[in-house]
Amino acid sequence: MVEEAEANAEADRKVKEETEKVNQADSLIFQTEKQLKDYGDKLSADNKEAIQKAFSELKDAHKERNIAAIDTASASLNTAWQAASEEMYKAQAEGEAKPGDSNEAPSSDKGSKGDDVQDVDFEEVK
């Protein structure tokens, strides 16, 4: 049995690696579908097109169980999402800077309307 295990170790390693890559691709496909649904309207046309192209390539590679293509498509998809994330972050930062246009610190009163909090002294009785 030990000899048989040693003889099949390489084949087992390849099957395990293939299974892990396919599972990672499956997870990335699920995440991408969710992110496209959540953030699709916030993406520029160029970024959305790049993401959808890489996403399509990943789905095809996943169906074929082509490990090399899965690696390439996953890297492309991650690169496309990184560019899109940077763009969304910059847009959000610019959007937050525009309304104030001043260097004043935000008021600490915000959100405290209706809160009637009082500091009181208390004495613990035993």
CATH numeric code, 7-98: 1.20.1270.10
What percent of the chain is modeled with pLDDT above 70? Answer: 85
Tens-place pLDDT, residues 49-88: 888 999 999 999 889 888 888 999 999 999 998 988 888 8
Q: What per-residue confidence (pLDDT) applies to 27?
A: 92
Q: What string of H, E and C letters represents the secondary structure of 78-120?
A: HHHHHHHHHHHHHHHHHHHHHHHCCCCCCCCCCCCCCCCCCCC
Domain ranges of the chain: 7-98
Q: Work out the number of other CB atoms within 10 angstroms of the CB of residue 117.
A: 5
pLDDT at residue 9, as a whole number: 83
What's the distance, CA 109 to chain centroid?
Answer: 34
Query: How high is the pLDDT of residue 30?
Result: 93
pLDDT on residue 98: 59
Q: Which two tokens stand for residue 39?
A: 């953030």
Nearest of 45, 105, 104 to residue 80 by alpha carbon: 45
Which pLDDT band holds residue 99 (cuts at 50, 70, 90)?
low
